[in-house]
A and B are shown apart, each in its own frame.
Chain A
Amino acid sequence: MRTLHFCEACGKVQPPAPVDYFTFFGLPRKLKMDVAALDRDFYQLSRKLHPDINARAGSHEQEWSLQQTSRLNDAHRTLKDPIKRTQYLLKLEGVELEEQSKSATEQARETGQLKKQIVPPDLLEEVFELNMQLEELRGNKKMGEDDPALIEEIGRQKLELEEKHDELLRELEAHWEQWDALVDREQGGQSVVEDERKKALSPLVDVLNRRNYIRNLVRDVAEVLES
């Protein structure tokens, strides 16, 4: 059901309703998305809601069109990107990612340190070895020594990690189906148990956590290499 953005009778902009992004576009909470259709809807809604188009309306309508359009843009931006879409859905479902957990954030705020993350088990060995190498490189740089072989090796590992990072997106998309199937069932009138819901969501969390971890690691490596 799409939110009523306009009065059906007179076409005037309505005050924004506090709905989530999916509902804003009249979409079910499914992860697989027809992005072209989303874009088309986005442009169509923009043509009606945008402040420029409502510049001659009364001051209430102008205010609402500003609120509505910012919501429209935020919703479009979030739903268009596969990662952001997945993260948003998880948030709606009350599931937090490691990086985003409130306690981690607060601790970081207090200590001023970057949030620590748990190393994904399948990466333990690699990460261990890479950290050793980074230590070595940092030490070299401090002494002013040069070790091109080391730098090349680290560079190679960085590339591998970047590839893994990209692959994880595809892995994520593969897990979408499980969640989407549940949504279809619910829409079909069947009920879905909390356990099933959790089961469908947890691989998504797992992939995103690993992906975030690798992204941060790549960033750290880049920093050391460039310093």
Chain B
Amino acid sequence: MAKYVVARAADIPEGGRRLVRVGEREIAVFHFGGRFFALLNRCPHAAGPLCKGRVVGLLESGDPGTYSFDASDRYVSCPWHGWEFSIETGQSYFDPKRTRVRSYPAGVAPGEEIVAEMDAEGQGGDTGGRRPGPYKAEIFPVDVEDEYVVLTLPR
């Protein structure tokens, strides 16, 4: 696994999302409830762009005409066919055993910490598990006081 700095936290406001590229992967990063979530931008059904999907709460029912809604449990609804995937785990709602979209751990780290780790590893080093992502050149000179969105992906 490797860590990639993909955005400044401030660039993705609460309720927002941003499409980022890490190598050849397109990843949809969502910011909800003060947390960041990352899903591969590719619906397992027909490859729809999940980054453009609505983010909806969990709607369940135990009986026709009754509704149980949990706004804090978020699902991305694919813009093409409406399939729902947990923003946290990537699992589908309707077929959790067989259908899921790849999800990745997304976290926020202060710039100072990232720079300190990179310094320890050597610039561009790939040895400590965390390596510089595509935002490296833009970000670090701007403000190391900022917080950054860091994805953990298989290499």
Do A and B pair up? The answer is no
Point out residues on B near A: beta carbons under 8 Å.
none
Point out residues on A near B: beta carbons under 8 Å.
none
